[in-house]
Amino acid sequence: MFRVVGRCVSVFILLVVLLSSCGTQKPQGKLLYDPREVAELSSKLGIGLSNIDKDDDRNMPLYAEVSQWLGVPYRYAGLSRRGLDCSGFAYLIYQKVYRKSIPRSTTDQSKMKMHNVSKGGLEAGDFVFFATSGRNKISHVGIYLKDGRFVHASTSNGVIVSHLDEEYYKRTWKKGGRLKK
């Protein structure tokens, strides 16, 4: 008799353990980067970043690298922290962050094999091209960050973050592009 009761209790306990382990649990967010580092980058770049967001985690090397270039002055044909132009900035960022070699000039960068991307479909790291020289020809490039913001080397302010909804960039917008893999 005790053997039967003992077996029933054992089976009952086994079922309870098995069934309780089948319950669904809300996944816990894992801190991917130090919250202070994320908050600092978010503030510097003017974009909302989260230390548990997978997209932000994947793009953190881009955000960290471009934040180090903010305020560097514009210098035509420059390629250093002493000064650089918009295409030189894109060139260096792609080299450092993505380990990809891209053309050096804005015109050549705009002719790379890439997928055209609408403003609404832009993702971090995509190119944004503008016709800023008064003609309809692409003459300026930036790198999209997030939330409508992009980073670029401005002739008057050096490396800055701007918003695609600013009137000037709405008026001069030409295209967005994502490199083909």
Range 7-26 average pLDDT: 43
Structure pTM? Answer: 0.81
Q: Which residue, chain included where needed, has tokens 């804005």?
A: 106
DSSP for residue 23: S
Q: Which residue segments constitute the domains of the chain, with CATH numbers given?
A: 35-179 (3.90.1720.10)
- Residue 141 CA to chain centroid, in angstroms? 16
pLDDT in tens, 106-134: 999 999 999 999 999 999 999 999 999 98
Active site residues: 86, 140, 152
d(CA 71, CA 134): 25
Question: Which band of pLDDT confidence, cut at 50, 70 and 90, is reported for residue 13?
Answer: very low
User: Residue 4: phi, psi to the nearest 5?
Assistant: -65, -45
Phi-psi region of 172 (alpha: psi -120 to 50; beta: other; left: phi over 0): alpha
